[in-house]
Structure 1
Amino acid sequence: MRRILCTIQQGSLAQSQYRAAEQALADSYRQSLGSDDRIVVVWCEIPPGQSYTENRPSSMSWVLTETSDGLDATRREAAMRAMSNAWNAITGAGPNDLMLALVDSSLFDRYLSLNQARIRPAARPLFLLRTVSHLVASRLTRGRLAIAANQNWS
């Protein structure tokens, strides 16, 4: 299984674009890397006014994609190009509206671990339970795995 974290500006995608973007990212990943891995996409929407690029409200999306440790740079770049093109075709994003990274699995795990470490140790179990509950609820109600950018349960 490979994980993709998509952080976007709230309201930047129409409901129909989420599934299309997930499929396009997964297809371009698999085709570029010759992979048959299951792809799981988790969305995080940032509320208006909470992100800036070049001192103005941002339109930037960030797609963090897990890949095999030690992936050759040529293959990594080809996959990033394919995924970027697929994303832009679905979302209508311009060349400066996407930051996409293919990150080694070990670094991806480290990123998630450090993110979790920011939560007070005593609050982590409840935070993780609420996060998983929110993911399940969003899958059932919105058809996608999504987390809130501003979780005030920690």
Structure 2
Amino acid sequence: MRRILCTIQQGSLTASQCRAAERVLVGAFRQTLGTTDRTVVVWCEIPPGQSYTENRPSTMSWVLAETDDGLDAARREQAMRAMSEAWNTLTGAGPDELMLALVDTALFDRYLALNRDRIRPTARPLFLLRTVARLATSRLTRGRLAIAANQNWS
């Protein structure tokens, strides 16, 4: 299984654009890398006013995709170009509104572990349970796996 994390500004894409973005990202990823691995896309939405680029509210989206460890640079670049072009065509994003990275599985796992490790060990089980519940709920209600960057846990 491959994972793609998409971080966007809340409200920047409609539900149908998100579903279409999943299709084009996964399609470009599979086509350029020649893989048929199951690919899961998870969305993280940043509330308005909580991210800035060049000292103004950001319109930047960030896509982090997992790939095989040691993927050669030429194939990595080809996949990133295809995914970027597909994203920008679909969303109308400009060249400075998408940050895209194809990351080796080992580094992807480390990134997720570092995010998990910033939660107190005693709070992690409940945090993970609530996150999984929110992802499942969003899948049922919105048709995609999504969480807000700032969860209201009360």
What residue number does 2:126 align with? Answer: 126
What residue number does 2:6 align with? Answer: 6
What residue number does 1:137 align with? Answer: 137
Shift in Å, 1:153: 3.5
Q: In structure 2, what is the Cα distance between the partners aligned to 1:122 and 1:102?
A: 32
For the Cα contact (< 8 Å) 2:47–2:148, is it kept in 1? no
The answer for unaligned runs of 5 or more in structure 2 is: none
What residue number does 2:147 align with? Answer: 147
Shift in Å, 1:110: 0.3
Cα deviation code 1:108-136 (max 9, x no counterpart):
00000010000000000000000000000
Paired residue type of 2:118: R
**4+ runs deviating over 4 angstroms:** none
TM-score between both structures, scaled by the size of structure 2: 0.98
Q: In structure 2, what is the Cα distance between the partners aligned to 1:15 and 1:145?
A: 11
Q: How many residues are matched?
A: 154
Paired residue type of 2:69: D
Q: In structure 2, what is the Cα distance between the partners aligned to 1:117 and 1:151?
A: 17
What residue number does 2:72 align with? Answer: 72
Q: In structure 2, what is the Cα distance between the partners aligned to 1:83 and 1:46?
A: 22
The answer for unaligned runs of 5 or more in structure 1 is: none
Q: Percent identity?
A: 79
Matches within 5 A, 1:8-23: 8-23=8-23
Q: In structure 1, what is the Cα distance between the partners aligned to 2:128 and 2:6?
A: 19
Shift in Å, 1:152: 4.3
What residue number does 2:52 align with? Answer: 52
What SS class does the counterpart of residue 150 from structure 1 fall into?
Answer: coil
Q: In structure 1, what is the Cα distance between the partners aligned to 2:148 and 2:47?
A: 9
For the Cα contact (< 8 Å) 2:66–2:105, is it kept in 1? yes
What SS class does the counterpart of residue 122 from structure 1 fall into?
Answer: coil
What residue number does 1:95 align with? Answer: 95
